[in-house]
Amino acid sequence: MLLSVPFPGSVYAALRIAQTIKAARPDVVCVLGGGYVNTELRELAEPRLFDFVDYVTLDAGERPLLALLEHIAGKRSKTRLVRTFWRDAAQVRYTNFVEPDIPFDDVGTPTWDGLPLDRYLSLLDMLNPMNRLWSDGRWNKLTVAHGCYWKKCSFCDVSLDYISRYEAASAEVLVDRIEAIVKETGQTGFHFVDEAAPPKALKALAEELLKRGVAISWWGNIRFEKTFTPELCQLLADSGCIAISGGLEVASDRLLQLMKKGVSIEQVARVTKAFADAGVLVHAYLMYGFPTQTTQDTVDALEYVRQLFEHGCIHSGFFHRFACTVHSPVGLNPAEYGVTLQPLPADGRFAKNDIAFIDPTPTDHDGLGQGLKKGLYNFMHGIGVEQDIRSWFPVRVPKTTVPKRFVERALTMAR
């Protein structure tokens, strides 16, 4: 039995499932993997986890699972397992017999065969239009490419396999998979779950969908880069794209450069407007609390966001508080970002991911965060878009330094 744990909130349920199955069928081999495992359990040393599961695997699962199947069949020893934790008496062992991963072109088509798809609950947990897509209804999940083609952002886990190893599949293979999934499920909605779907691959995919006359609705995550011209955005919309999300992060050119995001605010304005004009819902991931972010940076960021809403560039957004992770460039090289990391617990034997840090920049991120979220929520509902940006903050803040017509001029220059 394979249990994929994508997020911290899934851990308890996964262990209860494993516990229940083991109680009824102790002979069933249980294997734990997934996004949470791949990021937070890379230094696993807690033997009690193996009271619930037999093995824990890291990163792309195809090769580790093939090795495990051979081991269970008596054709491979434990010393030749791949990226696998297991318990030896009271000790946790990690074995990584190096073998090449399965090429992304060859990993096969996802299947939901045997699952009662008509009985799954549709949950509406918030009114944000992009968040509704995640949970209100069902979408076939598919990946355009493994990893991230950019893999430079300093807040991201760029050192780990799910980001660092980039492999794309051909458009023909992707549409073959799409057609097979539609035939199996009877559902034509797709969520491409890439970290950042590459524009070149999306263009080829759109052309192949249109060439074959395959009618689907799809959405996914991208980088707001200049390759997404108005012509490409329209092509993607014609192929069935209904929504895209992308990282504007801290809307500050200084901080975007420090993040190595590879985009500017002017560029984001043009790309988002091109998607919006093509009839595509645009969601912006936003961030506050990044190292060296000042109060002025924060006020200016909300002003940029206000102008993007004012000119119909974005329809939805969400502010996240920056978290430093041990596998990100900030966590690996904190001095480059002006911060000092707090020590991790000396006896930590289970999860290790978020790490506290000290930023000497005197910014009240808690107080400012309230204003960011309040302002953004109202902008999404068309409320207060003309107000002075300072009115949203519960603390005294300086006047914005952003020119009032910044986004308007950026869009005019694009014509």
Task: For residue 87, give its domain range.
Answer: 2-95
183 belongs to a structural domain: yes
Q: Is 386 helix (H, G, I), strand (E, B) or coil?
A: coil
Edge to edge, the sheet with strand 84-88 lists 2-4, 31-33, 55-57, 84-88, 91-95
Identity at 234, one-letter amino acid code:
Q
d(CA 8, CA 202): 31
What's the predicted TM-score (pTM) here? 0.93
Q: State the sign of the Cα–Cα–Cα–Cα dihedral 287, 151, 196, 304.
A: positive
d(CA 57, CA 42): 9
Q: Do 85 and 137 sit in the same domain of this protein?
A: no
Q: Do 196 and 331 sit in the same domain of this protein?
A: yes
DSSP element (H, E) containing 179: helix 171-185
Q: Do 197 and 48 sit in the same domain of this protein?
A: no
Q: Do 170 and 44 sit in the same domain of this protein?
A: no
Domain total in the chain: 2
120 belongs to a structural domain: no
Q: Do 291 and 370 sit in the same domain of this protein?
A: yes
CA geometry: angle 272, 165, 131, nearest 5 deg: 40
116 belongs to a structural domain: no
User: Tokens for 151?
Assistant: 């893999």
> What are the pLDDT tens digits along the chain (415 aa)?
999 999 999 999 999 999 999 999 999 999 999 999 999 999 999 999 999 999 999 999 999 999 999 999 999 999 999 999 999 999 999 999 999 999 999 999 999 999 999 888 887 767 788 888 887 888 999 999 999 999 999 999 999 999 999 999 999 999 999 999 999 999 999 999 999 999 999 999 999 999 999 999 999 999 999 999 999 999 999 999 999 999 999 999 999 999 999 999 999 999 999 999 999 999 999 999 999 999 999 999 999 999 999 999 999 999 999 999 999 999 999 999 999 999 988 778 999 999 999 999 999 999 999 999 999 999 999 999 999 999 999 999 999 999 999 999 999 986 5
Q: Do 89 and 167 sit in the same domain of this protein?
A: no
Q: Is 34 helix (H, G, I), strand (E, B) or coil?
A: coil
Q: Do 72 and 188 sit in the same domain of this protein?
A: no
122 belongs to a structural domain: no
Q: Do 89 and 211 sit in the same domain of this protein?
A: no
Cα–Cα nearest to 254, from 321, 329, 196, 337: 337
Q: Do 331 and 196 sit in the same domain of this protein?
A: yes
Q: Do 264 and 147 sit in the same domain of this protein?
A: yes
How many other CB atoms are there within 10 angstroms of residue 399's CB atom? 12
81 belongs to a structural domain: yes
pLDDT at residue 26 in the model: 95
Q: Do 136 and 73 sit in the same domain of this protein?
A: no
CATH number, domain containing residue 381: 3.20.20
Choose the final residue of a domain: 71, 95, 119: 95
274 belongs to a structural domain: yes
d(CA 100, CA 98): 7
DSSP element (H, E) containing 375: helix 365-380
Q: Do 276 and 148 sit in the same domain of this protein?
A: yes
299 belongs to a structural domain: yes
200 belongs to a structural domain: yes
Distances (CA, A) of 93 to 74, 81, 335, 371: 19, 11, 33, 48
